[in-house]
């Protein structure tokens, strides 16, 4: 009974923004991607991901992004990670992003899990001094809460809510709110599929729906049974 009450409260909090955000959708985007993960050590992972960004109701190519990520599992409830992303849009604009995060994990029940992930995100076009003088680096602070449920040994379903704050001269201002529902499926011992749908409410009042599909392959380390 206690577990059911906690689950209901957390789920309501995670999805509370969806009803108001869904009143008007300004665009439907898509983010298909493919990842390759290498595990040289049990607690260390190194991965690379290729993303394609499609906008204008998934009819227009915006840019391609290549990402590299390192993650280290400190213990059973804490993981740290960093990620670098580089991309070039259809008009030739360069895109650089650096992320640093911590992930705290806890079990509500045997199959129900909750995670909290604070993240610092840096965005810039170039590190050239002249470019930065006109287009300064942007900083964001994000907090994500995820609730996931294991429906079988090979499948999980999850929801999350993530708030982004833009950091400007020491002050934080709302940038966007992201809510999502998704599923993760294990395919064999080395592959998995992650599909989710994001609903994003931006500070200018625009709401975007974003289906995301990722196929990941793991090499190295011990095979998962």
The region, left, alpha or beta by phi > 0 then psi within -120 to 50, assigned to residue 131 is alpha
* Partners of 139 in the β-ladder: 122, 167
pLDDT at 224: 47
For residue 39, give both structure tokens: 């595990």
**Minimal CA–CA distance to 31: which of 214, 224, 215?**
214
pTM of the model: 0.86
Regions in the chain scoring below 50 on pLDDT: 2, 17-22, 224-225
How many CB atoms are located within 10 Å of the residue 74 CB? 11
At residue 21, the pLDDT reads: 46
Predicted pLDDT at 225: 46
pLDDT number for residue 20: 47
Tell me the torsion sign for CA atoms 121, 200, 179, 164: positive
How many other β-carbons are positioned within 10 Å of the β-carbon of residue 201? 19
pLDDT value of residue 14? 53
Rounded CA separation 184/128 (Å): 40
Please, are residues 115 and 105 in contact by the beta-carbon 8 Å criterion? yes
Go through the domains of the chain in sequence order and give each one's CATH number: 2-219 (2.40.160.40)
């Amino acid at each position: 009974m206690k577990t059911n009450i906690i689950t209901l409260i957390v789920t309501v909090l995670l999805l509370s923004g969806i009803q108001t955000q869904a009143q008007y959708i300004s665009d439907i985007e898509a983010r298909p991607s493919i990842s390759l993960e290498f595990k040289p050590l049990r607690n260390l992972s190194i991965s690379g991901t290729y993303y394609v960004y499609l906008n204008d109701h998934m009819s227009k190519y915006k840019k391609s992004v290549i990402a590299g990520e390192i993650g280290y599992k400190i213990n059973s409830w804490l993981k740290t990670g960093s990620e670098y992303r580089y991309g070039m849009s259809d008009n030739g604009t360069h895109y650089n992003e650096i992320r640093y995060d911590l992930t705290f994990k806890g079990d509500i029940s045997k199959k129900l899990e909750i995670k909290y992930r604070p993240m610092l995100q840096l965005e810039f076009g170039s590190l050239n001094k002249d470019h930065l003088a006109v287009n300064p680096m942007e900083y964001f602070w994000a907090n994500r809460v995820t609730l996931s449920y294991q429906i079988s040994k090979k499948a999980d379903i999850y929801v999350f809510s993530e708030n982004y704050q833009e950091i400007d001269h020491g002050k934080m201002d709302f940038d966007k709110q992201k809510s999502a529902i998704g599923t993760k499926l294990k395919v064999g011992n080395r592959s998995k599929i992650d599909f989710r749908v994001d609903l994003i409410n931006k500070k200018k009042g625009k709401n975007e729906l974003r289906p995301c599909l990722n196929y990941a392959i793991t090499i190295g380390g011990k095979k998962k049974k």
